[in-house]
Amino acid sequence: MLLTFLARGVSAAAAFLFSILIARLLPQEGAGEYFTGLTIMTGASVIIRFGFDNYIIKKNVVDEGRATANLISFALYSVVIFISLIALVCLAISVLSDFKTFATQYEVFLYFLVASLFFALLWLASGFLKAQRKAPLANFIEAGLVPVALIFTYGLFYQSVTLLQAAQIYLVILVSLVAVIYVCILVKFGVKLYLTTLSMKELQESSGIMASNLMDFLVLWFSALILTKYAHMSDVADFQIAQRLSVLISFILIVINSISAPVYAQLFRDNQIDKVGQILRLTTSLMTLIALFPLVLFWFFPEFLLSFFGNEYRDASTSLLILSFGQLVNVMSGSVGYVLMMSGHSHVYKMNTLYSAVASIILSILLVPEYGAIGAAIASSTGLAAKNLLGVYSIYKLFGLLALPTFEQIAKIFTLRERYEILTHRH
């Protein structure tokens, strides 16, 4: 757990510094376009990897001898999906607009769309390494490697790079890192040159994972995308910075989730529902305590924190306050999504995510045109809170377990024995 915690900690710090660097390196409008490009890339990569980054863990655990064959096969499938996605995008652009004019006006976004393939391959490699029980390395590759590499690269060009050049550098660095990672994996684990085929049932399972991941993405980021239509890019930059800063609150949740999933799966196999409830309450209490520190900073010193990105970003303080509320509910709810999935109720989790995504989309359409970044923050925060509260309700209805932290459990955390049991999951 400690190595995973450190890997995620370094990754979170790198992502934070990377955002500061981009905000300082580019004009505010340029930063807004850059971060929007990253958002487009992230959303497209969810479709392109088609849930393979999660499914490869299950596949490789069952058949370790075909591990690299599965990786290569899923990478090829992702390339096919990417080509299909690009073809659809080009067709839509040709129908709705002049392609040449569109490409000139939105050239930066096209670079990030191309980068989405390699971002998907990066996550696929991370899933492969998780199956090989190399969680710390996988977590760093997934969330920290690219920001670290770009911090050093952009640092060389500080104050001398344009928005378009920044996008081109991102693509080159990402492609280079993916190539090195895949070569290292194939050298380390051997090359298996045969294609892994998926049954209809396996495709349905993988597509279900993709759908859930896409709904999760829309809950957080749909409002940011629609904001680009109704607001100036400087306002988009404000919202993007506030959103990326607020996500730091859930850092501890990501760490706990990466460790707790197999623990919950084992407990459900052994029908130890009471122990699931004990661990869930203790971990949510611990995470809530840890999250209080950034929350206090966000709520009482928002303008000071935002000034690290530049004085022009101080206007994002209200958005940051609203978004941090949604992240607080996210942390207080704990690993409700993983509990539902590990207990065989993934369909309940998918429906909760779908309802929340629909709510976020509707609120974005209603609020963003009138209230801009504030409306986007309300829509995103409400969707995130709704998804987690629905998860809390579902677990209580299914198992009679209360996932929210209690004062009694928070008090227990301060005893040495309880801290040990939380860290080791020996409860």
What's residue 7's pLDDT? 81
Provide the strand spans (E) within 66-225: none
Under 8 Å between Cβ of 103 and 223? no
What's residue 64's pLDDT? 60
pLDDT over 90 (residue 416): no
Classify residue 159 as left (phi > 0), alpha (psi -120 to 50) or beta: left
CA dihedral 97, 50, 6, 279 (to 10 degrees): 130
What is the rounded distance in angstroms from the CA atom of residue 36 to the CA atom of residue 33?
5
DSSP annotation string for 149-211: HHHHHHHHTTT---HHHHHHHHHHHHHHHHHHHHHHHHHHH----SPPP--HHHHHHHHHHHH
What confidence tier does 427 reach under pLDDT thresholds 50, 70, 90?
very low
Taking CA atoms, 143 is separated from 135, 186, 203, 341, in Å, by 12, 21, 26, 23
**CA-closest candidate to residue 325, choices 250, 223, 391:** 250
Per DSSP, the three-state class of 341 is helix
What's residue 203's pLDDT? 84
Quick: pLDDT tens for 278-320.
788 888 888 888 888 888 889 899 999 999 999 999 999 999 9
What is the rounded distance in angstroms from the CA atom of residue 115 to the CA atom of residue 294?
32
What's residue 172's pLDDT? 96
DSSP 63: -
**CA-closest candidate to residue 278, choices 424, 393, 422, 396:** 422
Query: Residue length, the chain?
Result: 427
What is the rounded distance in angstroms from the CA atom of residue 308 to the CA atom of residue 302?
11
| Residue 130 phi, psi dihedral angles, 5° rounding | -65, -40
Residue showing tokens 């409008």: 29
Quick: pLDDT tens for 130-166.
878 787 888 899 889 999 999 999 887 766 789 999 9
What's residue 199's pLDDT? 78
Structure tokens at 366: 């209603």
pLDDT over 80 (residue 344): no
Structure tokens at 9: 């900690």
Under 8 Å between Cβ of 321 and 299? yes
Under 8 Å between Cβ of 259 and 5? no
What confidence tier does 384 reach under pLDDT thresholds 50, 70, 90?
very high
Classify residue 162 as left (phi > 0), alpha (psi -120 to 50) or beta: beta
Residue 326 or residue 101, greater confidence = 326
Structure tokens at 191: 């090359």
Tell me what the mean pLDDT of segment 323-340 comes to. Answer: 88
User: DSSP 3-state helix, strand, coil percentages of the chain (rounded to 5)?
Assistant: 85, 0, 15
